[in-house]
Structure 1
Amino acid sequence: MFVMIAFTLCCIINLTFIQSVFTFNTHTRPLEALIVTGTCLLYFFKSGFSENWLSFPINWINMGILMYFPAASLIFIFSNYFTFVKLDDDMTSVVWNMHAFLVMLMYLMFTKGFSLLKQTKENT
């Protein structure tokens, strides 16, 4: 509960005093990624690993989040820097194609998790 309130306040402070609405939020986006990643890692730690670990839908969704958020947070941390140094079009394309690949990977893992969820509901 404390983290939710503190993060919301950080977002409001960042929006009001630090970064304009017209720049990418390079302060709160990485903080959000750290909170989400930490929560997912805590889930993995508390759930433990069993023999049929990949048969649980939530584990696939959790893996998708863990694939996307830590890697994409680096892109978002440096996004204003990329704009400042004026990356050439080829490099900009590489960076955002890498981001698109990470999003696709996360969605594919979500799809696997949701399909397992559907299978378990059909079997019960």
Structure 2
Amino acid sequence: MKMNPWTLSVLLLLAGPLGADPDWHVEYPDSFCVVEGSTATIPCSFTHPARVKVGRVVWRFNYEHNVYNSSNVRANSRFLYLGDLIGNCALKIIKTVKRDTATYRFSFETNFGWWTGLNGVRVNVTGL
């Protein structure tokens, strides 16, 4: 049976990595491209054990720079958190520029410590 590569990617994304702890997990695509000047939304979801309460969420750019931190929200930021503290961690980037090309990672802080989606999502901003 021949399968569309997009369908296969979605199925693999839903399945998650082999051996991953199903109670602690962050999922987003490996990468995607966006045209410079447009708005992009990074789809993202996370899971944690039911007994855990999420207190803070953070999106980082190339490991070190925070683009969103729920405990320090900047009003005029081009990075908007569309998620919640339950399981949605989508991030919107408004009016993308070339310097937005990077690997983005989502982390969440709980009453049991931090959890980070290690692989991250590679965002490539291209010209027209």
TM-score, normalised on structure 1?
0.28
User: Hey, which of these two has a bigger chunk of helix by percent?
Assistant: 1
Larger Rg: 1
| TM-score normalized with structure 2 length | 0.27
